[in-house]
Chains A and B, each alone.
Chain A
Amino acid sequence: MSTISKPWDKDPVLTVEHLTMRFGGLVAVNDLSFSAGRGDITALIGPNGAGKTTVFNCITGFYKPTTGMMTMRHKDGATHLLERMPDFVVSKKAKVARTFQNIRLFSGMTLLENLLVAQHNPLMIASGMTFLGVLGIGGYKAKERQAIEKAKYWLDKIKLTDRADDPAGDLPYGAQRRLEIARAMCTGPALLCLDEPAAGLNPRESAELNELLLGIRRDEDTSILLIEHDMSVVMEISDHVVVLEYGTKISDGTPAETKNDPRVIAAYLGVDDEEVDKVEHELDEVQAHHTQGSGQ
């Protein structure tokens, strides 16, 4: 976009370059490039069908992109090319976690178990591929206790400690959303991708969510990439906004910049009232002119 280097380009946790995803003749994402800064909350917004979720699906290994490169850069300098990884490696090695628009918890398992499943890999190693764990040999017990501690920490953060042993499916909607975020955080991600976390939340729950996300940015080593329709969430918490329309990027900048970008206003926020008035006024004038003309 602009030649001036943006803050998020200096130390990006994720860079997406020339990402294109085609489904037959449909181009869902068209030559998209952006970067998400380390420690930032980056929002990906756009009207329905703009290709936001497709971008997420490419990042998390659900889809193999038609073309393009997606690079995760860890703090230690290690880089991972996401487009080459099967889905479980994206979480295990590249440390990308995600949530879904429609909640996908393991509803038959308890809250605690949901959070422990997310810590599968370290536990699997500690249990010596389960065999030693069943026999009670080795450091499995200690590792398991550590994992439970971590799970409790997150249950505390999402204020669901007292329901730790209930099945996740019994929780109310807002709590399930928070649990899904906590579960994603339990994988120890460097990048957390949230697909419309505020969808269906009431204003109070929405405010709690903002607090949770800001808390993650403040306390954890995790950057956040966010798809959101709720503009109050986007404008309040994000550092950087990328706007998509029909799979193409139309704007990229700080919330204030994108908010005032005419292309965004036209495409996404709609034309505001003043402009409507102005257009209507012009139309009236034209019409008046015409009636004058025909009257002569």
Chain B
Amino acid sequence: MEVFIQQVINGITIGSLYGLIAIGYTMVFGIIGMVNFAHGDVFMVSAFFALIFFLALTAWLGIASITITLLIVMVISMVLTGLLSWAIERIAYSPLRGSFRLAPLISAIGMSIVLSNFVQVAQGPRNKPIPPMVRETFTLWENNGYAVTISLKQVIIMAVTAVLLVAFWYMVQKTALGRAQRACEQDRKMAGLLGINVDRTISLTFVIGAALAAVAGTLYLMYYGVVHFADGFTPGVKAFTAAVLGGIGSLPGAVLGGLLIGLIETLWGQYVSADYQNVAAFSILVIVLIFMPQGLLGRPEVEKV
């Protein structure tokens, strides 16, 4: 029982990160019907931004407070990653809008390779570590010598994710930009005729998705303490799986899918086989695509006439 609860806590932590990344996939898919395969690598680059600025702030400027450092690093990483994603959209996707459907997809795969290879060359092929920063761990209860613990890192991850999701939900539901995004999702031409700058709305969607991925990237770096140039791939594909599982295009679905993938992965690792953790996660992708292509919360595909 204790082991199970411990794994659930771990699963939710990872799942929160997947959820944050999955939102980027699902929003972009919702608005332009394209899978942004470079999103995982954008996440990886954001972790490197966080790494660089974390080291800069602590080593050069000597800021001692971890909270302040973390906050500054997160904001910087969000801004820079947002800019990066905006540039990617402008350079690699927006000129291909109106081209055949596969064109932006292939461009995204190319962008993904560009990003990971650039980081490999610029940052080196090894794991990049940061000194461990948040070490506190709380024991929730102890039984038969097994303590269920939750680390402060996990609390931070869950809390930051929850706060961001609320803010994000408010943005999509209640602000002009959110309404414009939903309008563009349904009928881009009509949205344009109502005075909405569709291109800008699409760009902002990429920026917002990237900013959420940057939060995930910063938290990922804090949680594991290392980042590697190929780290975009596995979490990226898992977050994509999460988006598909939840129903691609659905925002609550992305978060739900992220949490489920996180839980399945850790529980599978605990009870079945840690070696086959990733196999479990990706098997879900296959099974969902075969038996439930619209996902858990997705709308069934309606052919537009």
Query: Taking the nearest CB of chain A, how far is it from the CB of B235, in angstroms?
Result: 26
Extra 12 A-B pairs, beta carbons < 8 Å, given A86-B192, A91-B195, A100-B190? A60-B193, A87-B192, A98-B193, A107-B186, A117-B191, A119-B176, A120-B179, A130-B171, A130-B175, A133-B171, A133-B176, A133-B177
Q: Which 10 A-B pairs have the closest CB atoms?
A: A123-B176, A91-B195, A130-B177, A87-B192, A92-B195, A88-B192, A104-B190, A117-B183, A106-B186, A124-B176
List 17 contacting pairs A-B, 8 Å CB cutoff, sorted by A.
Answer: A60-B193, A88-B192, A88-B197, A88-B198, A104-B187, A108-B182, A109-B179, A117-B180, A117-B191, A118-B194, A119-B176, A120-B196, A123-B175, A127-B176, A130-B175, A130-B178, A184-B194
**Chain B residues near A109 (CB, 8 Å)?**
179, 182-183, 186
- B residues near A (Cβ < 8 Å) are 167, 170-171, 175-180, 182-183, 186-187, 189-198, 204
Report how far A123 CA is from B174 CA in the complex, Å.
11
Within 8 Å by CB of A106, from B170, B183, B197, B198, lies: B183
Chain A residues near B170: list those with CB within 8 A: 134
Docked CA distance A100–B189 (Å): 11
Q: Determine the distance from Cα of A3 to Cα of B183 in the docked complex, in whole angstroms.
A: 47
**Residues of chain B lying within 8 A (CB to CB) of residue A116:** 176, 179
Q: How distant is A247 from chain B, measured CB to nearest CB, in Å?
A: 23
Residues in B neighbouring A118, C-beta threshold 8 A:
194-195
Interface string of A99-116 (1 = CB under 8 A from B): 010001011110001001
- Among the listed B176, B186, B190, which residue makes an inter-chain contact with A120, where contact means beta carbons less than 8 Å apart? B176
A88 to B199, CA, bound (A): 10
In the docked arrangement, what's the CA distance between A97 and B191, Å? 11
Q: Is the CB of B186 within 8 A of A183?
A: no
For A, the interface residue count at a CB cutoff of 8 angstroms equals 35
Q: Given A106-B182, A108-B186, A120-B180, is A133 in contact with B192 using a C-beta cutoff of 8 Å?
A: no
The smallest C-beta distance from B8 to any residue of chain A, in angstroms, reads: 31
Indicate whether A134 sits within 8 Å of B171 (C-beta atoms), given known contacts A106-B186, A108-B182: yes
B179 and A90 within 8 A (CB): no
A116 CA / B197 CA spacing, docked (Å): 15
Please name the residue on chain B nearest to A129 by beta carbon. Answer: B177
Which residues of B are found within 8 Å of A108, using beta-carbon distances?
182, 186
* Nearest CB on A from B254, distance (A): 17
Q: Please name the residue on chain A nearest to B180 by beta carbon.
A: A120
CB proximity of A227 to chain B, nearest CB, Å = 16
A232 interfacial contact with B, CB 8 Å: no
Q: Chain A's nearest CB lies how many Å from the CB of B200?
A: 9
Chain B residues closer than 8 Å to A48, beta-carbon distance:
none
- Complex Cα distance, B269 from A139, in Å, reads 51
Least CB distance from A148 to B in Å reads 11
- Tell me how far the C-beta of A123 lies from the nearest C-beta in chain B, rounded to whole angstroms: 4
Q: Contact: B195 with A88, CB < 8 Å?
A: yes
- Our pick among B177, B189, B192 for the contact of A127 (Cβ within 8 Å) is B177
